[in-house]
Chains A and B, each alone.
Chain A
């Protein structure tokens, strides 16, 4: 065996892991707020993250104040980061953390070790595959997530199949419908275990009218049949137990997001058990000094521009840290009670302003079931901090809780809890 080459080692101010909307925007703003050496490490061949292969329109509204397609948005966000002077590296995968806290990177140019004064984790999220959802049956080809479908159709220019069943009825599920149409496949059903879809009524109407795709609510995929290619799904109605089979040669499992948290776990940062992303305070600081996290790594999918605004927000906290702000020593956890699914950020640091303001001045709240305009209360140790009505709460849609109440939190107190109030 030949001798290993000397491992490259370099020092930077900020290493951003993940070159999607959150990471690229974080890098841009870290540069603008004075960080000298900012490097973005992305494992894909092109920067831009998920929008690279989400062809539909609607990207960039909140951050760039224009409406772009996914690929155009990805290119724009990457150009801005490059123009800011950040060093964008693709095909560079962070594989772990060295004992001394440096990042280990594999790239075509070799392996290297990067010492970063601050690290921003922006590795995003992905859809749970069929196996993680424990759908029984055969294991044929033709079962995929939206992420794979989009790349297959838009980046590969390939036809994915002819008759598809879409599992899920969130925004991304309807985006999968468009991708299927583009790839020449017909979506024969949208299937959700929820009582309704969880997207904009206009999307649902378009699916019904333009593609005549029925929405099967309160329905689960109870088995997959066929081999080597999928031939049918067995669907079970969750209320009356009716079973039926639908012929298809493609099944697209959409939504059911999970943060891509491997590097966060390897870093030893605390995860929030509800979001399954790193537990962060409103400044997007994790439990490990110098390690920040932003974007959809925190909580499963929000829109790309929301992730980008996380990136802008975290850059301010990174700048304060690089200028000597100390890392909070203790935190008050922020939790929520069922049927709420998660709240983010999910910790409050025992430090004063300005670290207390979350991105866009609000907490994000999700529920495991759809609840129409519920009243939410935030309490600490039995003391009510805030009560208010929120909109559009459900598994696929976040509600916003204004963050005004954080100044009333007792830093020496117990955990803060958000819950739904009974109907009045």
Chain B
């Protein structure tokens, strides 16, 4: 990244945080004639709490009626389904089955259906046990009842924020990665001075989409009102050979605090089990725990006993940005020219496009001048990294045109050299191995680098100018 002269960095809007929400806001504001900065503390777009979630497109059937979250999740679901199709985000229309395992849970079905109706989702339907086991023959014994939620789907968790940010960058947004906001100061002439770990910039407006750190940025801007308590979620990803075991997302009956532990296929062709939900103190503690993993495995053994025979490919830990409030914290203040979107908890991916619209409207109301650009948003087409559509290694046309798509580098995930090259040449190139992993699936498979763990860093080194040993440092 070239060294910039901070004093010259002046924007109409600076968005703090390039996760699902911040990137979606940057994309939305890119429709207008604005100089935008998208500032991310982490090394990449979507590299914070957005990278480890359950990758489910929620309908909002279990949201709290009347909340902003209920409304934005419902709308976000429809927006993202359309957008996914448009830009090539992997989605599989699996539907979900919510299963009750005892009388008490079964007794809650009425309330769940009523809640869904009140949230405007009318397609929850009860199915028989015969039907449940016909659809999910590997489900553990003992289910007492099941509701079908036909519009809950699985989605790629990595591509959406990259797609949003790519559109924003192509429209002229200044994406500044590995740059943490450290201080905000209101300027007399209006607007803000933002100090970061790399210097300072000025912006007419600040938009806080800092996820786990949104409460800190909120305080920097002189506000109080919510505190983020990270809620740890551990997830186990099973070997691809387990994929035939399951067809739908299998949900538990949700409780007041959590949607509970689910088992679901992933768009990469694995099966996922999780998440746990434990409130913790530290916002950087993405460690898995022996207790969490043991709990998931014992639960998994009951939900889907055949899973236990499969190898575990990966363990992920995500932190949800939970607050003391039961709803999103979103708003804008005209006087200080500041907007915020915090406390997005576990529905940020689904809600992202609707949250962005909402923040746009809030900014509009607060007085940000929104003049539409003549050309609208640039078109993008993201590389397909899902299993539902052919990937380059399986496409005769691509390989015939370019043999690099026939050169498989990551054998487990079948990622080709052509895809690694493309990622490195993309508008938002990866700066590290994790970034390359999220863009291509390299190193995500069952061998976790046994076969290609040296080759991939060497290839990325060619493109980034960093040495493989340096890439392995993780910095």
Using Cβ atoms and an 8 Å threshold, which residues of chain A touch B315?
131, 134, 136, 139
Interface residues of B in 277-296 (CB under 8 A from A): 284, 286-290, 292-293
CA distance A152 to B451 in the complex (A): 10
Q: Which of A106, A134, A145 contacts B408 (CB 8 A)?
A: A106
Using Cβ atoms and an 8 Å threshold, which residues of chain B touch A381?
none
Q: Are A106 and B406 in contact, CB atoms less than 8 angstroms apart?
A: yes
Using Cβ atoms and an 8 Å threshold, which residues of chain A touch B103?
none
Using Cβ atoms and an 8 Å threshold, which residues of chain A touch B397?
1-5
CA distance A118 to B340 in the complex (A): 65
Q: Is B9 an interface residue (CB 8 A)?
A: no
Using Cβ atoms and an 8 Å threshold, which residues of chain A touch B394?
95, 106, 111
Q: Are A158 and B469 in contact, CB atoms less than 8 angstroms apart?
A: yes
Q: Are A137 and B395 in contact, CB atoms less than 8 angstroms apart?
A: no
Q: Which of B396, B451, B458 contacts A111 (CB 8 A)?
A: B396
Q: Which residue of B lies closest to A125 (CB)?
A: B450
Q: Which of B284, B401, B446, B474 contacts A142 (CB 8 A)?
A: B474
Q: Is B473 an interface residue (CB 8 A)?
A: yes
Q: Which of B401, B406, B446, B454 contacts A152 (CB 8 A)?
A: B454
Q: Is B79 an interface residue (CB 8 A)?
A: no
Among A44, A91, A108: residue with most chain B CB under 10 A: A108
Q: Which residue of A lies closest to B314 (CB)?
A: A131
Q: Which of A4, A126, A128, A161 contacts B395 (CB 8 A)?
A: A4
Q: Are A223 and B287 in contact, CB atoms less than 8 angstroms apart?
A: yes
CA distance A64 to B251 in the complex (A): 58
Q: Is A159 an interface residue (CB 8 A)?
A: yes
The interface on chain A, measured as residues whose beta carbon lies within 8 A of the other chain's beta carbons, has a size of 54
Q: Is B86 an interface residue (CB 8 A)?
A: no
Q: List 24 A-B contacts (CB under 8 A).
A: A4-B395, A4-B396, A91-B407, A95-B393, A106-B399, A109-B403, A131-B312, A131-B315, A134-B293, A136-B293, A136-B315, A139-B315, A139-B317, A141-B471, A145-B450, A147-B453, A148-B449, A151-B454, A152-B472, A159-B469, A222-B290, A227-B284, A258-B311, A260-B447
Q: Is B80 an interface residue (CB 8 A)?
A: no
Q: Are B406 and A108 in contact, CB atoms less than 8 angstroms apart?
A: yes
CA distance A109 to B399 in the complex (A): 7
The 5 closest A-B pairs by CB, nearest first: A228-B474, A141-B474, A129-B448, A148-B453, A151-B454
Residues of A that sit less than 8 Å from B by CB: 1-5, 7, 43-44, 91, 93, 95, 106-111, 126-132, 134, 136-142, 144-145, 147-148, 151-152, 155-156, 158-161, 222-223, 225, 227-229, 258, 260, 262, 265
Q: Is B256 an interface residue (CB 8 A)?
A: no
A-B contact count (CB 8 A): 155
CA distance A136 to B411 in the complex (A): 26
Using Cβ atoms and an 8 Å threshold, which residues of chain A touch B471?
141
CA distance A107 to B317 in the complex (A): 36
Using Cβ atoms and an 8 Å threshold, which residues of chain B touch A161?
472
Using Cβ atoms and an 8 Å threshold, which residues of chain B touch A160?
469, 472
Q: Is B475 an interface residue (CB 8 A)?
A: yes
CA distance A93 to B408 in the complex (A): 7
Q: Is B467 an interface residue (CB 8 A)?
A: yes
Q: Is B150 an interface residue (CB 8 A)?
A: no
Q: Are B406 and A129 in contact, CB atoms less than 8 angstroms apart?
A: no
Using Cβ atoms and an 8 Å threshold, which residues of chain B touch A158?
454, 467-469, 472
Q: Which residue of A lies closest to B241 (CB)?
A: A265
Majority secondary structure of chain A interface residues (helix, strand, loop or mixed): loop
CA distance A107 to B409 in the complex (A): 11
Q: Which of A126, A134, A156 contacts B454 (CB 8 A)?
A: A156
Beyond A132-B446, A262-B446, 9 extra complex contacts between A and B, CB < 8 Å:
A4-B397, A91-B406, A108-B407, A110-B399, A111-B406, A129-B449, A134-B315, A139-B288, A160-B472
In the complex, per-residue mask of B440-465: 1 if CB is within 8 Å of any chain A CB, else 0:
00000011111101110110000000
Q: Are A5 and B400 in contact, CB atoms less than 8 angstroms apart?
A: yes
Q: Are B396 and A5 in contact, CB atoms less than 8 angstroms apart?
A: yes
CB distance from B317 to the nearest CB of A (A): 8
Q: Decide: A109 near B472, CB < 8 A? Known: A131-B312, A145-B449, A156-B458.
A: no
CA distance A155 to B447 in the complex (A): 18
Q: Are B475 and A229 in contact, CB atoms less than 8 angstroms apart?
A: yes
Using Cβ atoms and an 8 Å threshold, which residues of chain A touch B455?
151
CA distance A159 to B467 in the complex (A): 10
Q: Are B472 and A134 in contact, CB atoms less than 8 angstroms apart?
A: no
Q: Is B231 an interface residue (CB 8 A)?
A: no
Q: Are B286 and A139 in contact, CB atoms less than 8 angstroms apart?
A: yes
CA distance A161 to B473 in the complex (A): 9
CA distance A228 to B470 in the complex (A): 12
Q: Which of A3, A127, A140, A155 contacts B450 (CB 8 A)?
A: A127
Q: Are B287 and A136 in contact, CB atoms less than 8 angstroms apart?
A: yes
